[in-house]
Each structure stands twice: as C-alpha cells, then as structure tokens.
Amino acid sequence: MERVTNARPDPRTPRPLRASHAAPALRGGARRLLSALVGAACMAGALAAPAPLSAQEPGRPAGRPEPMPTQGAPGGSMCGDRGKVVSRLAEKYGETRRGYGLQRGSAVVEVYASGDTGSWTILLSTPNGLACLLAAGQNWAPTPEEAAAALGDPA
C-alpha cells in the first residue's frame, strides 16, 4: 500500500488544546458558576433529544411560554426575538438572568430562574437577536452562595 505524505488532516478531527487556549484558573464562585453552566448545557443537550412517542404530550408543556417556532432553530427548538422572550420570562414567570456562557464564540447560553416561582429556563441567544428555548422546568434551587447573598450574609 502506498503511503500518502501530503495528506491534510481531517477537518472534523478535534485538535488538542494548546496552553495558550486554556482558560485561566477560576476561583470560588466563578468556578461554581462555570460548573453549573456546563452541567446545565449537558442537561439541555440530553433533554433536547426527542422523547418516545408514548411519553410525548400533545401541545406545549403546561405553564411554559409559547415562543414562536423559527426555521433553522437548533435541535428544533422554539425561537423568537430575544427581547420579547426575556421580557416574557420576567413578566410571566419572574425569572432573571442567573448566569451565562459563550458557546463556540458566537452564541450565548443563558440561564434564567426565579427564586419565587421556582421556574427556570435555558436560552441560546444568537448575535442576530434570536433566542431559542433549550430547556425549562421547575424547582429551581439557588446555590448556597446565592442564598446567602440574597439574605445579605457576607459568607
């Protein structure tokens, strides 16, 4: 078999990270926030998988907003104007942004939640002003640091 020496590497193969690309060391709250966002993004990916037909309910989940479907949305998500989606989350569910992270340098993954209603939402916001609903649910629990800050405790 002949060996090819000028072959280009497959562009789909991930390249190893160099030290210059690695994130600087995170401390305390930033590390926990990043960990929570990564966990939320992983959970959102798992929840985005279609459920078996027997488990699917007709219509939308009870108590969640009705974002406008948009063609080309990631994973068939519901999408709409970011300003309108965020306003609806604040007005109807009392949710505020609790954290965010950059995804692949172009989109922002945002976590919104309400300590009063217990609802939470994960959005993917794009530079063109589109926000797509990745996941939503109930029983939001703040981190101990968030709870202490809400009570005015310096811990």
The CA-based dihedral angle spanning residues 31, 35, 36, 38, taken in that order and rounded to the nearest 10 degrees = 140
Count of Cβ atoms closer than 10 Å to residue 62 Cβ:
6
Residue 76 belongs to some domain of the structure: yes
The Cα 30–Cα 36 span in angstroms is 10
Q: How confident is the model at residue 67 (pLDDT cuts 50, 70, 90)?
A: very low
| Greater model confidence, 136 or 68 | 136
Q: How would residue 57 be classed by pLDDT, with cut points 50, 70 and 90?
A: very low
Residue 78, H or E segment: strand 78-81
**10, part of any domain:** no
Q: Which carries the bigger pLDDT value, residue 103 or residue 68?
A: 103
Residue 129 forms part of a structural domain = yes
- Find the domain containing 87 and state its range: 69-145
Total domains in the chain come to: 1
3 pLDDT tier (thresholds 50, 70, 90): low
Evaluate whether residue 55 is within a structural domain: no
- pLDDT for the residue numbered 108: 95
Residue % of the chain over a pLDDT of 90: 36
Whether 20 is in a domain gets the answer no
In a domain, 1, yes or no: no
Spatial distance between the Cα atoms of 155 and 153, rounded to a whole number of angstroms: 5
Give the residue with greater pLDDT, 128 vs 53: 128
- Mean pLDDT of all residues in the chain? 70
Whether pLDDT at 130 is above 90: yes
Is residue 99, in this structure, part of any structural domain at all? yes
Q: What is the rounded distance in angstroms from the CA atom of residue 154 to the CA atom of residue 56?
A: 45
Calculate mean pLDDT across residues 110-114: 95
Of the given ranges (5-9, 10-14, 66-70, 91-95), which has the lowest mean pLDDT? 66-70
Could you tell me if residue 35 is inside a domain? no
